[in-house]
Chains A and B, each alone.
Chain A
Amino acid sequence: MKCNEIRELLSLYIDQMLDDNQRSDVEKHLSGCEACQKEYDDLNEFHLLLNEMEPVPVPDAFELRLKQALKEEKKRMNGFGGPIRSLFTNKQYRMVASVAAVFAVGILTLGVYQDVLGDFADKLNFVRQDGTEQAAPSDAEADLYGSSSGMDADSGNDIKNDDMNNKLDNLDDQIQMSTESNDQEMRYQADRNDEGSATPMQKNAPVKKEFAVAVPERASGNAGGSDSTAPSDEAYYEAGGAAPSDGVDAADENAKEKEISYGALAQDESRPKSKAGLSGESCSRSLTASSVERNTAAVQYYMNLIEERLDGFDYQVLNSGYAQTGTWNFKIFIFRGKDGNTYNEEILIIGKDGKIEVICSNEITGL
Chain B
Amino acid sequence: MGDEKSFESLILGCQSKAYNIAIRYLKNEEDAMDALQESFIKIFRHLKSFKEDSRFDTWVYRIVVNTCNDILRKNSTRKTTDSIFRSEDDKETVIEIPDSSGSPEEVFDKKEKSEFIVACMDKLSQDQREIIILRDIQGFSYDEISEILKCSVGTVKSRINRSRLKLREIMMEQNL
List of B residues within 8 angstroms of A8 by Cβ: 161
List of A residues within 8 angstroms of B97 by Cβ: 53-54, 56
B129 to chain A, nearest CB (A): 12
A43:B2 contact, CB within 8 angstroms: no
Interface of B is mostly: helix
B33:A42 contact, CB within 8 angstroms: no
A67:B8 contact, CB within 8 angstroms: yes
Interface of A is mostly: helix
CA distance A66 to B164 in the complex (A): 35
Interface membership of A50, Cβ < 8 A: yes
List of B residues within 8 angstroms of A15 by Cβ: 135, 142, 160
Cβ < 8 Å to A, chain B residues 104-146: 110, 113-114, 117-118, 132, 135-137, 139, 142
B14 to chain A, nearest CB (A): 11
List of A residues within 8 angstroms of B2 by Cβ: 74, 77
CA distance A86 to B44 in the complex (A): 12
Tell me whether A55 and B16 are in contact in the complex, defined as CB-CB below 8 angstroms, given that A11-B161, A70-B41 are known contacts: yes
A61:B33 contact, CB within 8 angstroms: yes
A49:B33 contact, CB within 8 angstroms: no
Interface membership of B84, Cβ < 8 A: no
Q: How many A-B pairs with Cβ below 8 Å? A: 109
B40:A52 contact, CB within 8 angstroms: no
CA distance A58 to B100 in the complex (A): 18
How many chain A residues touch B (Cβ–Cβ < 8 Å)? Answer: 37
Interface membership of B13, Cβ < 8 A: no
B37:A69 contact, CB within 8 angstroms: yes
B4:A52 contact, CB within 8 angstroms: no
9 closest A-B pairs by CB: A11-B161, A50-B136, A70-B4, A54-B98, A58-B19, A55-B20, A50-B137, A46-B117, A49-B114
List 14 contacting pairs A-B, 8 Å CB cutoff, sorted by A.
A11-B165, A12-B157, A15-B160, A43-B165, A46-B113, A47-B164, A52-B99, A53-B97, A54-B97, A54-B98, A66-B8, A69-B41, A70-B7, A89-B49
Taking Cβ atoms with an 8 Å cutoff, the residues of B that contact A are 2, 4, 7-8, 15-17, 19-20, 23, 29, 33, 36-37, 40-41, 44-45, 48-49, 95-101, 110, 113-114, 117-118, 132, 135-137, 139, 142, 157, 160-161, 164-165, 167-168, 171-172
Taking Cβ atoms with an 8 Å cutoff, the residues of A that contact B are 7-12, 15, 17, 39, 42-43, 46-47, 49-59, 61-62, 65-67, 69-71, 73-74, 77, 86, 89
